[in-house]
Homo-oligomer: A and B are copies of this chain.
Amino acid sequence: MQHNDLTQFRTDGTLYLSAPAAAELVRRKGLANCIAAMADNLRDDFKRWPEFDKTARVASHSKDGVIELMPVADAQRYSFKYVNGHPSNTAIGMSTVMAFGVLADVDTGAPLFLSELTLTTALRTAAMSAFAAKTLARPESRVMALIGNGAQSEFQALAFQHLVGITTLRLFDIDPQATAKLVANLQGSGLNITVCNSTAEAVCGADIVTTVTADKTMALILTPEMIEPGMHINAVGGDCPGKTELHGDILDAAKVFVEYEPQSRVEGEIQHKAEDFQVTELWEVLLGQKAGRDNAAQVTVFDSVGFALEDFSALRFMFAAANALGLGEHTALIPQLADPKNLFGMLSTPTPVAVPRRVATAA
């Protein structure tokens, strides 16, 4: 399979999956199936955690936002994601988060697969949240508060419905139009939905609380008096320096889990905590090296910031699915040279400018 990927690259070039093509892929396979398959990849890859070459993401901060590169590799495959975060973009009709990425061959450096990752990131983030909640939340969890009803919220709702067994949602957003959009998009999902007037109202009685707000500030979305014994808090929105969602006392009273501690210390909810604040990396729980939830009354927090390995898992799924469905186009992102030492030769041979051609058949 991996040998075939390189053969395909050498024959046809890089497989490119645009945003509309990724949406077509998700429509054909079904959203719940895609999220479930990504969650399977995430579990497999997190269990291989020590095999990966990991680095904290490389961030370039500016006045209104951040642009990040997130690389990771195992012995066979390398991936990176480009992703921005610009909360003010929505005011001019653009997305807060835009992303794309590449899956490459470690042995040769060949970029096998170039894909949109805006839609894909929403799926993988939801798959990661649900996968972590399956590991950490009480198994009988059925009610979820969903605070922040923006671009990520539908994916979170459906991932928790299909992977965790959530049946009831309690919604709040400071923007009522965002909530109305979420309610409309979830029609026909079978979820029981209550629109609430405040975060406190939404959180009251929930088994799981998901925060996925976008402001680039040190917000206090959740405060200690809202928290009930046994809750699992899925903190998605606090994911870069200066951007948090939880009151510090919540973290002190809970058991806190992270993806990759060196990155979470800088970007996560724990950025305000001392260096020796105790956290558990999720892979340690998966491999049985550390305990997850200790008892039914304990409050657990998944302080999620989004780690490069999650995009690796997602790209693996999208690449395989695009090949299987014959979606995407092959393109000469890299020159195809008769003699690799004769790069100059491509200038003297006026080949036609390539028009990417559609993949005709499944690989």
Contact = CB atoms under 8 A, between A and B. Distances in A.
Interface of A: 10, 16, 18-21, 23-24, 26-27, 31, 53, 55, 58, 60, 62, 64-67, 69, 71, 73, 75, 78, 80, 82, 84-86, 89-90, 92-96, 98, 100, 102, 104, 106-111, 116, 118-119, 122, 150-152, 154-155, 175, 177-178, 181, 185, 327, 329, 331-337, 339-348, 350-356, 358
A89 B340 CA distance: 9
B27 A347 contact: yes
A106 B102 CA distance: 21
A154 to B, nearest CB: 4
B341 A116 contact: no
A46 B256 CA distance: 46
B353 A181 contact: no
A52 B346 CA distance: 33
Nearest to A341: B150
B332 A100 contact: no
Contact of A334 (B19, B107, B352): B19
A311 to B, nearest CB: 13
Contacts of A100: 111, 333-334
A333 to B, nearest CB: 5
A116 B347 contact: no
Contacts of A65: 107-109
A196 B318 CA distance: 52
A150 B340 CA distance: 9
Contact of A109 (B18, B53, B67, B109): B67
A95 B350 CA distance: 20
A358 B23 CA distance: 22
Contacts of A353: 18, 20-21, 24, 327
Nearest to A358: B355
A26 to B, nearest CB: 6
A31 B96 CA distance: 40
A109 B122 contact: no
Contact of A340 (B26, B95, B109): B95
Contact of A80 (B82, B86, B358): B82
A344 B185 contact: yes
A96 to B, nearest CB: 7
Contacts of A107: 62, 64-65, 86
Contacts of A355: 329, 356, 358
Contacts of A21: 353-354
A210 to B, nearest CB: 15
